[in-house]
Amino acid sequence: MSKNDIHVLVVEDDVMVAEVIIGFLDRVGQVHVVDHSESLLKSKDLLKRKQVDLVLLDLYLPDGNGIELLKWIRLNDVDVDVILITADKQIESIKEARKYGVKDYLVKPFKYKRFEQAISNYRSEVMKLKGLESLDQLTIDVLMHNKELEPQEGVNKTYDRILVYLKEHYPNGYTSSEIAEALGVSRITARRYLENMEYLKVVELELYYGAVGRPQNKFSYKKK
């Protein structure tokens, strides 16, 4: 277990389904399963006593509906995120889940690819926020919508110009100095934006080894 592992509580009363979920988590990696709970009561107790980052929550439990646990988490200001994994496809349940801020909603039976996507998206969001104290509007929008934003005229012209330049020259990679010269901005400014864009997975970073000297960081547009 590393310090960057996500601590997960699996709340599922079906033992076989719980084993599938835990097995999938093992395949995804960088996850530590804190415990497995089969009820609302046990889940509340575990959340009071253990470090948990993410709850994978079923809705149909022996002692109540998982939405009750979700409400309890919010009412008691428990610092934990929730992804629902359930057979419930009713619109009211989905509305309730959105209302109480679930990160994702997986319908049983689910495939590994969709499960891996949910966990990876969550990890990506956590890592983007780690160590940050404040964000600009574009970064907030990327986090809130979990996607790359198209250039928006007048919102952040430097960001827009760099993104457009890399898109137009895809798949070529450029150093911050090369981009700074092409766009007429300072190297420090270009590097700051490029590092932020790489952190947000908008661009890709590769090390370029020339004939002599230290390797250079080259940035290219990350095509979806």
What pLDDT, on a 0 to 100 scale, did the predictor assign at position 187?
Answer: 87
Report the relative pairing of strands 6-11 and 60-61 from DSSP bridges: unpaired
What pLDDT, on a 0 to 100 scale, did the predictor assign at position 19?
Answer: 94
Encoding tokens for residue 212? 């002599």
- Answer yes or no: do 125 and 98 share one domain: yes
- Answer yes or no: do 31 and 114 share one domain: yes
What pLDDT, on a 0 to 100 scale, did the predictor assign at position 121?
Answer: 83
Q: Structural domain of residue 156, as residue ranges?
A: 137-221
What pLDDT, on a 0 to 100 scale, did the predictor assign at position 149?
Answer: 45
- Answer yes or no: do 192 and 114 share one domain: no
- Answer yes or no: do 41 and 87 share one domain: yes
Give the Cα-Cα-Cα angle 113, 70, 140 (nearest 5 degrees): 65
Task: Answer whether 66's CB lies under 8 Å from 19's CB.
Answer: no
| Residue ranges of the chain with per-residue pLDDT less than 70 | 1-3, 127-156, 210-213, 224
Task: Answer whether 68's CB lies under 8 Å from 11's CB.
Answer: no
- Answer yes or no: do 116 and 13 share one domain: yes
What pLDDT, on a 0 to 100 scale, did the predictor assign at position 45?
Answer: 95
What pLDDT, on a 0 to 100 scale, did the predictor assign at position 153?
Answer: 42
Task: Answer whether 134's CB lies under 8 Å from 192's CB.
Answer: no
What pLDDT, on a 0 to 100 scale, did the predictor assign at position 155?
Answer: 43
What pLDDT, on a 0 to 100 scale, did the predictor assign at position 139?
Answer: 61
